[in-house]
Structure 1
């Protein structure tokens, strides 16, 4: 049995300055649940979504988080931080081991455009091994809307996907459907950790490798401590969920090519008709009403894109 004790912290966070809250909640988990191996937080849980809070890699916040992991003996995936590196800002999830070392940094590949402006997209996938447990992949929030990201992490061996999330909008139902589908399509555990309080609507969720619901949270603060058996991942990938679809084997054995995935130019050429990626705006009046009044009084149907 390959077990992973994981605590997903759905914090009732303020808009910023939540580092002391994170430290307090993490220490409480270490004390109350000594079998837990890892603590995972929501996206931008510590400083919120302001780029003004961006710090250099290895800055004060990261230093305190490393000390927290060492103190508690936990793997710590502290949501994400805006980090400044090489003149750019990235939405970055550091992965900190129980010795207080950063073993990986994941930069969000798909910033939430057109809203998350000023954030540079990452280019690298991150998976890491937890001794005695298994292989873990990391993505951030909007990344899960792109199945290529999650399938690539699974292709790199991930058995569980951690998805720090910050959602405070009306599409949480849709996100939960996508998270559950990702678990089923990739036969992996999927841990989607949202925020509560001022930063999110909560409803964190963990789904199993058959797309089964392990746990779905409410809207407020919750500590979701679970002991996950990762051996079920290999069993379901071998036999299918309840003896049904062996999805990854079919994908592996297929001889179909996917040119849109392999060729950036081909993908862009095929989708030029979508228009510019820009913030939606109210339709401009353009004097249409006065023009209609001058021309005639016939009713008109105006279709707004």
Structure 2
């Protein structure tokens, strides 16, 4: 799902709360509802809530259900009740004989505006889960464009690059990591943000399902917040004007990698072709040395 890229105008901030929740396997939807309600009451400036991968039931495909379905409807009602954008981690989606790991995107009216199926299941461990085949970006009116990826997707840099070429400025990345490679994932999140000049919001689960250590990165790869291993509510603001300036002038007036990538005609051996056209990258203006303004 996509629309036209942002082409100008001053934009402000947008409040997001990442919920790193200490969860156990089983039905966690009532707990999620209570936590989202608490965020809505405590942080009225927050407009979007993001949770960790598979936090609704855990990593058990026996909980898979069609989408739309009862679990998704519960989450839609929750978003509408509190007037929030809700990206509730992911659910196992039963689609015919296949099972996908799917993230719904729900708007404040309780409507599903997009669903992202995880492109790269964590094989050989996430057995029996089908691979998605598309990229999801969506617009929040008056704010900016968001892209969605799930956990192991981040290990393939083409996924984030593709979302950015479709205009994504913020990558929403629910994760469920309970292994010793979390430190590496934090490095990948920072690198993804820096090389794509985007916000990267990587929310893990805690408790029995994950090791926590969620991380929010800004468009220079800087860490806005890194969580510990337990429950945390990570409320922060995306500054779209700052992001646009980083893309146009470079983070701290330094590199402008999106423009250099756009302007180079090299054909990469892994793909056999130069980059595809991107209205989002074309809108950034020429590559030039920043001046005083």
Instruction: Report the TM-score when normalising by structure 2.
Output: 0.88
Q: How does 1:68-217 map to 2 (within 5 A)?
A: 68-217=78-227
Q: Would the aligned equivalents of 1:41 and 1:194 in 2 still touch at CA under 8 Å?
A: yes
The offset of 1:259, in angstroms, is 4.2
> 1: CA distance between counterparts of 2:271 and 2:247?
24
Q: Secondary structure at the match of 1:65?
A: helix
Q: How does 1:1-305 map to 2 (within 5 A)?
A: 1-261=11-271
Q: Would the aligned equivalents of 1:135 and 1:160 in 2 still touch at CA under 8 Å?
A: yes
For residues 170-218 of structure 1, the C-alpha deviation after alignment (integer angstroms, 9 at most, x for no partner) is 1110000000000000000000000011100000000000011100011
Q: Would the aligned equivalents of 1:2 and 1:134 in 2 still touch at CA under 8 Å?
A: no
Q: In structure 2, list runs of 5 or more residues that go unmatched.
A: 1-10, 274-293
Q: Which residue of 1 aligns with 2:285?
A: none
Q: Secondary structure at the match of 1:153?
A: helix
For residues 76-108 of structure 1, the C-alpha deviation after alignment (integer angstroms, 9 at most, x for no partner) is 000000001132100000000000000000000
Q: Secondary structure at the match of 2:115?
A: strand
Q: Which residue of 2 aligns with 1:285?
A: none
> 1: CA distance between counterparts of 2:162 and 2:231?
32
Count how many residue pairs are aligned between Structure 1 and Structure 2. Answer: 263
The offset of 1:262, in angstroms, is 5.3
> 1: CA distance between counterparts of 2:204 and 2:30?
19
Q: Which residue of 2 aligns with 1:276?
A: none
The offset of 1:2, in angstroms, is 2.5
| Cα RMSD, aligned residues only | 1.0
Q: Secondary structure at the match of 1:137?
A: strand
> 2: CA distance between counterparts of 1:26 and 1:200?
20
Q: Would the aligned equivalents of 1:187 and 1:237 in 2 still touch at CA under 8 Å?
A: yes
The offset of 1:39, in angstroms, is 0.3
Structure with the higher fraction of residues in helix conformation: 1
Q: Which residue of 1 aligns with 2:7?
A: none
For residues 16-40 of structure 1, the C-alpha deviation after alignment (integer angstroms, 9 at most, x for no partner) is 2111110000011011111100000
